[in-house]
Structure 1
C-alpha cells in the first residue's frame, strides 16, 4: 500500500509572527546559553522552564513572555534590552523617547527607560493590556518597584490583592509570589524597575521562576 508523502513542516502563522516581532531573540538565546557552557537542561532548570519550552524559544517557535526574558537574562548574566538588541550606547545616560522602540512579549508592550549595562537595576515603561498575562505567578530573586502612570493595576502579592490607581506605587521583595494584571478594560501603563541579580548565589534561586497556573 502506498502512503502519501509527509508534507514538510511549515511554521505556524503564530510562529512566523514571532520571528518577525522578535527576530534577534531566538539566536541570541541559543548563543548566550552555549557561550555560558550550559546544556539546554541546565539553563532551563535555572530559568524555571522545561527543556522542550526553552528549545522552542531558541528556535523561534514560541514567543517568550517578559517574565521568561527576565529569568533568562539573569541566568545568562545580561539584560532584556541586550537580549532584544536594543541597548543604547553604554555611556549615554539619556534615553530619548524616539529611540525607545516598543517591544511586545506575550501581550505586554514595553519600552526601555534606562541603560542597564553594568547597572544594578533595569527600568522599563510597560503597557499592560487588559487580560494579558494575568495568570502568571512570578517568583524570582531581587526587588521590584512599580509606579502606575495610567489606568488601574491589580497586584497580587502573597495572599493579598491590591488595586493601584494612577500615582500609586509598590515596592516589594520579588521572592514573594506576585501577579500583575490590568484592573480595567482600558489596560494600564506603569514604570517597572527590577534589580539585576546575576551572581551564582542568585542563580541558585532561579528554578522558582515564573509559573503559569
Structure 2
C-alpha cells in the first residue's frame, strides 16, 4: 500500500483511534459550504485522499489536522470532537487581580484562552520597559486616561483620551505614557499563546500586587 506524507493508516491493533475525526471533518467541510474538491485543493490534498480521511480509511497527522482546522475556521479540539468547557462571556469588574511587570500594571479584561487577549493597562511615564518590540499579530489600543506616545516605525503619534490605534505588530513599535502620571489604556492583541507580560510588559517578571 502506498504511503501518503502526512497521513497514517488506521492501526488494526488499535481500533477507535481518533474516532470522531472522520465525521467531524465531513460535517465541518459541509458547514463551510466547501466541496470535497475545493477543500482538498486548499489543504494540498487530492480529493481522494480527503475522502479517505472523511470516511476513516486514513488517519490524519497533527500537521494535517492543524491545516484543516484553519481551512474550516475551527480548532483541532473541535475536529477531534472534544467539547470545550463553557465560558462565562462576562468579565466582572474587580475579579481580575492586578499584575505588575517593569512598572506596567495590567488587569485581564477578556476571557482566558481566546484568540483575542484583552487587557486594561496602566502605562508608567518612563521605565526601562519602554522598548521597541516586534512580533507577529495585531494590536489595538484605546486611551482611557492620560496621553500615550506610540512610535510605529519612524513615525511617532501622541494619543489623547478617546483616541485609538490599530496596527500590525510586525511593525517595530514602542508604547509609553506622555504624561508624568502615566496613562490608562485598553489593549487588545492576537497572540494568545504568549504570556501577556512577555507580549507587552517588557522582560521583567510579573507579580501580583
- TM-score normalised to structure 1 length: 0.49
What does residue range 69-108 of structure 1 map to in structure 2 within 5 Å? 91-108=87-104
In the TM superposition, what is the alpha-carbon distance from 1:197 to its structure 2 partner?
A: 5.9
**Separation in 2, partners of 1:163, 1:152:** 7
Q: Deviations over 1:95-122 (max 9, x none)?
A: 11121111001110000000031x2110
What does residue range 93-172 of structure 1 map to in structure 2 within 5 Å? 93-117=89-113, 119-133=114-128, 135-172=130-167
Distance 1:121 1:99, change over 3 A: same
Is 1:192 aligned to 2:187, yes or no?
Answer: yes
In the TM superposition, what is the alpha-carbon distance from 1:129 to its structure 2 partner?
A: 1.4
Distance 1:197 1:95, change over 3 A: closer
CA contact (8 A) 1:142 1:197 kept: no
Larger Rg: 2
**Separation in 1, partners of 2:128, 2:155:** 18
2:91 partner SS: coil
**Separation in 2, partners of 1:188, 1:133:** 16
Q: Which residue of 1 aligns with 2:174?
A: 179
CA contact (8 A) 2:117 2:192 kept: no
2:132 partner SS: strand
1:175 partner SS: coil
Structure 1 unaligned spans of 5+: 1-88, 199-209
Q: Deviations over 1:51-90 (max 9, x none)?
A: xxxxxxxxxxxxxxxxxxxxxxxxxxxxxxxxxxxxxx86
Identify the structure with bigger relative contact order (alpha carbons < 8 Å, sequence gap 6+).
1
Distance 1:128 1:197, change over 3 A: closer
CA RMSD after TM alignment: 2.1
Distance 1:183 1:95, change over 3 A: same
**Separation in 1, partners of 2:192, 2:106:** 21
CA contact (8 A) 1:106 1:132 kept: yes
- TM-score normalised to structure 2 length: 0.50
Count of residues in Structure 1 that have an aligned counterpart in Structure 2: 112
**Separation in 1, partners of 2:137, 2:131:** 18
